[in-house]
């Protein structure tokens, strides 16, 4: 606690309980270290610079820091539902406006950011009760614009958002190590993208409903290349498969795993599939699953 503050001094504009809560909010060094959010540090510095002077003010209005224009700082406001807010207010509209900190002690959620017309809109940091956090653009407390979400389990998404959904270009890092970079539509991989899984298999092409769907190029761990049409993660229809040793297949691959076309071996000899070489043999040569 700031030793320079005397709660018994006449004219103090904040209670001991409010001060202790404020201290908890603005001096949470662990959160600052973990999340490194510049706005949080800026808010802390601003309040530390003015707290002694402001708390010793006498009379009305009961504000902590006089701001330029129509904005002002006030003591912490405690709402009936358990939420608490400390930050800037619009003196004319009496709504939250500017930079502020909002917490909900009931569900342990924590928000610091920009407010407009009483809503968290602009740049902000949203810390969830499970320790995950979102940092970026907010619109009425929804992720909207550009931002990043990180979970304690290692999952991450960074990119464009629309009304709390991934929408536009973004990068998704799954807990198992898979990484996708590309287009999203309403929280689903949709459109053009690149997926590299934890084993190193790389796919670049079209997606639909979160699956490889449409034309794409896939390179597996053995550097075998697949140029094919995909239907919900499976090769379907025309395809061209090339191994590093020069072996090739050109033709069709159906949903029953039957192959029809031409197989070219490492010596350049061509064999018809399945009349001269079976589909099963081609599967084994290319290590198809």
For the chain, the domains span 1-152
| Burial class of residue 149 in the structure, from the number of CB atoms within 10 Å of its CB (0-12 exposed, 13-18 middle, 19+ buried) | buried
Collect all residues with Cβ–Cβ distance below 8 Å to 94 and sequence separation of at least 6: none
Three-state SS sequence of 13-69: CCCHHHHHHHHHHHCCHHHHHHHCCHHHHHHHHHHHHHHHHHHCCCCCCCCCCECCC
CA distance 213 to 121: 36
Helices (DSSP H) in 36-167: which residue ranges?
38-55
Helices (DSSP H) in 92-200: which residue ranges?
none
Cis peptide bond prior to 16, omega within 30° of 0? no
pLDDT score of 41:
52
pLDDT score of 156:
95
What beta strand segments (E) does 165-247 contain? 165-173, 179-185, 188-196, 202-208, 211-219, 225-231, 234-242
pLDDT score of 272:
96
Question: DSSP assignment, residue 187?
Answer: T
pLDDT of the chain, 289 residues: tens digit per residue? 233 333 333 333 345 554 455 555 545 544 444 443 444 455 555 544 444 444 444 343 333 444 557 888 777 788 888 788 878 889 899 999 888 888 876 666 778 788 888 988 888 888 787 778 888 888 988 999 999 998 878 899 999 999 999 999 999 999 999 999 999 999 999 999 999 999 999 999 999 999 999 999 999 999 999 999 999 998 888 999 999 999 999 999 987 889 999 999 999 999 999 999 999 999 999 988 6
Total-model pTM = 0.74
Lookup: tokens for 63: 């504000």
Among 67, 69, 65, 43, smallest CA distance to 54 is for 65
CA distance 15 to 55: 10
CA distance 236 to 264: 20
């Amino acid at each position: 606690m700031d030793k320079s503050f005397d709660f018994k001094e006449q004219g103090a504009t904040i209670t001991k309980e409010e001060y202790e809560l404020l201290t908890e909010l603005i001096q949470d060094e662990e959160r600052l270290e973990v999340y490194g959010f510049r706005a949080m540090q800026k808010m802390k510095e601003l309040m530390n610079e003015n707290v002694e002077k402001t708390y010793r003010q006498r009379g009305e209005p009961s504000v902590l820091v006089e701001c330029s224009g129509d904005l002002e700082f006030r003591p912490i406001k405690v709402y009936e539902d358990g939420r608490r807010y400390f930050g800037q207010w619009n003196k004319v509209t009496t709504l939250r406006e500017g930079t502020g900190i909002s917490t909900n002690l009931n569900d342990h959620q924590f928000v610091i950011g920009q407010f407009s017309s009483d809503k968290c809109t602009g740049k902000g940091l949203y810390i969830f009760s499970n320790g995950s956090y979102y940092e970026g653009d907010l619109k009425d407390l929804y992720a909207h614009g550009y931002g990043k979400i990180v979970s304690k389990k290692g999952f991450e998404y960074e990119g464009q958002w629309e009304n709390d959904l991934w929408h536009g270009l973004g990068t998704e890092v799954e807990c198992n190590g898979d990484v996708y970079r590309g287009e999203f539509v309403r929280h689903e991989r949709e459109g053009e993208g690149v997926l590299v899984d934890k084993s190193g298999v790389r796919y670049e092409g079209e997606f639909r409903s979160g699956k490889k769907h449409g034309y794409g190029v896939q390179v597996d761990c053995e550097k075998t290349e697949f140029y094919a049409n995909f239907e919900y993660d499976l090769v379907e229809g025309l395809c061209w498969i090339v191994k590093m040793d020069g072996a090739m297949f050109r033709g069709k691959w159906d949903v029953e795993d039957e192959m029809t076309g031409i197989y070219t071996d490492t010596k350049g000899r061509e064999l018809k599939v399945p009349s001269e070489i079976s589909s099963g043999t081609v599967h084994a040569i290319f290590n198809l699953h």
